[in-house]
Amino acid sequence: MNNNTEEKVKPFRLVKYFTFISLIVMFAGTVVISSLNTHSARNMLLKKSKDYAHVLVENLNHQIFMQFFIPVALKFGKIQLRDEEQFSHMDRVVKNTLHSFRVETVNIYDMNNVISYSFEKSVVGKQNMGGSDYQNAVKGRSTSKLIQSGNFWEISFGFPKQSLLITFDPLRAEKSLAQMTGPILGVVEIVQDLSDDYKSIFNLQIRVLETCAIVMGILFIFLIFVVKRGEDILERRSLERLKLKEELNRAQRLAALGEMVAGVSHEIRNPLGIIRSSAEHLKKKMLILDPSNTIPHIIVEEATRLNNIITDFLNFAKPKEPELIQCRIEEILDKNISFFSTQIDGKHYEIERNYDGSIPEIMGDVNMLYQAFLNILLNAKEAMPGGGKIRVSANYLSQENKVKVVFEDEGHGLPDEIADKLWDPFFTTKEMGTGLGLGIVKNIIDAHGGSISIENKSSRGAQAVIYFPVKNK
């Protein structure tokens, strides 16, 4: 059954695996899209920062020319930043112009690639510090480059410790607004710190991924729940179908077997009746001729036993329809216990009964239920050959509208290897049994719309649990 169930559930598992893989692909796609968006945002930030740097240089160029070059040239006749007063004046102009702007460093080169002014006075006077970017600026071409610092993982994942944008622009002399820009007087180097901007982009990317992960996680949990429920439903239905199929096959086998048993039983019963009546007639004669001869008596007893076996066959093969009337379960049980008590008197057996006082009447055939209960009591007795206690209880389950009857013994319980064979016809562990007793009991319970199960107790022994529906006539 397990293999068949596995085959039934397998198509749904394919759906489950496809769902999980789809979630993984969706999350991976989200990561890729987020990475592409972040890369695009970084490129946009870099372009805007470059344009921003050029605007700053143009503004600084204008302020230096208007507030430094012209006044200083008029006052001193020439520009010499080595002069402390001129350097201080240049420093005020530059810092006032770039005040509140995020500019890390400003370097101004003369036409000989010598740093004439810088935020860092330690580099003033140094030569050949501009490199190829300086040469491009002298030729009138602006350049910008991004320099990032940090370890491999920080740079790879887009959150370097520091990001600096270095821009070189020519410093020009200004003419009137109607004319072209003047000649190049030097080079301005502006260093912008973009670290916070890059960190903001990285933090945004992390928030996007966290949001996607949370959404995917919630969706994943929901899908797991749905898939689990679906699997359980499908597995339960598969088990039900297999169970119904097994019951149908069993019913078909039993039907064929019943027809055969019924036919054979009828054929045996006729000659058996002749043998029994002849043996009884012979027994009467032998009482006169040879009273000590017990052979006719043995023939009568064995013929009677064989007739009872045939009766069991017929009851199992062709169970009669119950004649349903309103009856009380506890009255039938009391009748069984009264008869059974005479069979166990003085044999170390004890019967304990426990009835709920509010048990309603059920629709049942008193004789058939009596026969079923008697068979169960006999089985309980045979499970305890050395004696023991048999408990009989009955109560009403109001929520289910059923009457529950339980027979308990204190035997050794049911071995695992026979638990699944209890209801099979002709299966028995008794030396003289036919294996039809429990089958007849089940047929009777089924005919009353009830159900029966036999199972081991948590403590010693086994119990038979029977449920009868409560119906109005």
Q: Please give the average per-residue pLDDT across 240-251, as a whole number.
A: 82
pLDDT in tens, 54-71: 888 888 888 888 888 888
pLDDT number for residue 204: 78
pLDDT in tens, 272-282: 777 777 777 77
Work out the number of other CB atoms within 10 angstroms of the CB of residue 462. Answer: 20
pLDDT number for residue 427: 53
pLDDT in tens, 183-208: 777 777 777 777 777 778 778 777 87
- Between the CA of residue 382 and those of 376, 378, 414, 430, 444, what are the distances in Å? 10, 6, 13, 9, 21
Under 8 Å between Cβ of 35 and 254:
no
Does residue 434 carry a pLDDT above 60? no
Does residue 2 carry a pLDDT above 60? no
pLDDT number for residue 14: 64
Residue 402 confidence class, pLDDT cut points 50, 70, 90? very high
pLDDT number for residue 432: 55
Query: What percentage of the chain carries pLDDT values higher than 70?
Result: 83
pTM of the predicted protein model: 0.44
Here the tokens at position 232 are 């359980």
pLDDT number for residue 8: 47
pLDDT number for residue 393: 93
Residue 178 confidence class, pLDDT cut points 50, 70, 90? very low
For tokens 């216990």, the residue is: 337
